Structure 1
Amino acid sequence: MTESASSLALAGFLTLVFVGFTLLAIEPLIAFDAYFNLRPPPPSWVPVLHVLDRVGQRAICLPVLAVVTIACCRREESWRPAVLAASSVFALNLVVGLLKIGFGRAQPASADPSFFIGGMAYPSGHTANIVLVYGLAAYLLGRYFRLGRGALVALWTGVAGLSLLMVVVSVTLNWHWFADLIAGLLVGGIVLELAVAADAAMPRQAFDGGLRQGVRVVLAAVRRRRTGPPGHGDVA
């Protein structure tokens, strides 16, 4: 449970950072966002920037995660990686969608960085996708293929590089305020750490016998943790 507890603690810390950062973005950082609302890029850059932007789109990143997940499922002979990947992606899209609606921030094209005016810019779904989807792919490969330290460093360096690329591309194209992009990275990190915590807490044999068996195993484990081990609370 050590890995699960540490991941939950990190998710909690990132949540606090997100809340604090959002409070700053709503008021003190608005001038900072306006400063980064750059003029449109040169026309010759636009086709290349559009291609680079696709790295954060679901049509590109989800197939990558799907290939990694299938490979992990085959290697482990279990549905566990697929359940983890599908539930994590669903959770991210739900959280990002609710936050976008709740904060209602318009895109830079409006020239108004205010919140609660009916937009859908905060947080950025692209940067959230980068962290969760590519980060989860790196995590699954490391866990189920037992990669060495060098390979893991290369994978996580790639995730960090793609995150930076997404921020630069979106700011250059004026598709997001700078704060939107940082918030997206934080939200992606929160969901990723929660996914790691859930995977570490899940019984080892969960989903080895299929989806129904896995659900029963997980529910039984949850009930045991609520009630305690046999004899818990008995008086000797």
Structure 2
Amino acid sequence: MRRLGWWFDVLLLAAFAALTALLAAGHLYGVDSAIANYADAHRPPVMYWLALIGNQLGQSGHFLIAFGVIALWLLYRDRDVRPLILVAFTYVLAGVVVVPLKEFGGRDAPSSTLPNKVELFNDAAVYDWSYPSGHMVNTFVWFFTMVLLLTWLFGERARRFEPVIRIAPPVIVFVTTIYLSFHWLTDSIAGLLIGVVLRRVMARIPWRTLPLPAWLPFTAAPVEPAPWSRSPWRARSAGRSRSAGAGGAQSAEAADQDRIVR
């Protein structure tokens, strides 16, 4: 597959800017309102609860706690602080980018009772953090972090689950946030565009070999897992890597260093 460079990120940001300009000019409000009204009229209790469960995939608080625990375990097991830095960076990155955009957008949620709730830059908005959807951004940055943590825990074989992890959560959250009237359709589209850009930025950072200052504790990336953390299949994989010699397969660190989002 051909690699996509920075030009693709610029294209995504241009699409976000164009979408924002269209909404500011009063376009697409009819589409947003029609979809929200349809969702409100077709939401039986069973579907509501199923959608609410699926929508939890876009909640950053769950991931911060769960992944923080995993990162602390990796800090103890491998004596490497990088997983903890990854989790903290993910949380800060999403907040630093999304919160100002939400403040700038000033858009109310579909569940609001205001007559002009669909409008962007609405001074009368009560809940004015609807645009763009933070739920959508979370599904890209946090599930990217999940893939990296899984590779830290179980090795490169964990990447076999990456296609499902990359695709399923954004699709589920995209549908459920609109169906539950948490966000307008264009909110979710905007969140998708920003989320893809942030994920691509994170993918360019060599997390497994990230250079760190000498004064920071637990900075040495171990060549091998600690003896108590080695599973049988990881031991077999290490044996095959050693027998391959200099011309063999790349190490996990090298593969992560060279990996770029496509």
Kindly indicate whether residue 23 of structure 2 is the aligned counterpart of residue 16 of structure 1: no
1:125 corresponds to: 134
Kindly indicate whether residue 143 of structure 2 is the aligned counterpart of residue 134 of structure 1: yes
1:171 corresponds to: 178
Where does structure 1 lack aligned partners over 5 or more consecutive residues?
Answer: 215-236
Mapped to 2, the partners of 1:13 and 1:21 lie a distance apart of 12
- Normalised to the residue count of structure 2, the TM-score between the two structures is 0.66
5 Å-filtered alignment, 1:32-181, equals: 32-37=31-36, 38=38, 39-40=40-41, 41-70=43-72, 72-73=74-75, 77-110=79-112, 112-117=117-122, 118=125, 119-142=128-151, 146-148=155-157, 151-181=158-188
CA contact (8 A) 1:88 1:191 kept: no
Mapped to 1, the partners of 2:96 and 2:172 lie a distance apart of 24
Larger relative helix fraction? 1
- Normalised to the residue count of structure 1, the TM-score between the two structures is 0.73
Mapped to 2, the partners of 1:108 and 1:85 lie a distance apart of 31
Where does structure 2 lack aligned partners over 5 or more consecutive residues?
Answer: 220-262
Q: Deviations over 1:146-184 (max 9, x none)?
A: 424xx5352232231111111111111111101111211
Mapped to 2, the partners of 1:158 and 1:203 lie a distance apart of 20
Task: Give the % identical residues.
Answer: 23
Higher RCO, Cα 8 Å, sep 6+: 1
Cα RMSD (Å): 3.0
Secondary structure (helix, strand or coil) at the match of 1:36 reads helix
Mapped to 2, the partners of 1:181 and 1:18 lie a distance apart of 11
Shift of 1:126: 1.1
Mapped to 1, the partners of 2:160 and 2:14 lie a distance apart of 27
Mapped to 2, the partners of 1:186 and 1:212 lie a distance apart of 37
Amino acid at match of 1:116: F
Call closer, same or farther: CA 1:212–1:153 in 2, change over 3 Å. closer
Amino acid at match of 1:16: A
Mapped to 2, the partners of 1:142 and 1:135 lie a distance apart of 11
Based on CA coordinates, which of the two structures has the bigger radius of gyration? Answer: 2
Q: Mean Cα displacement is larger for which, 103-112 or 118-127?
A: 103-112
Shift of 1:125: 1.1
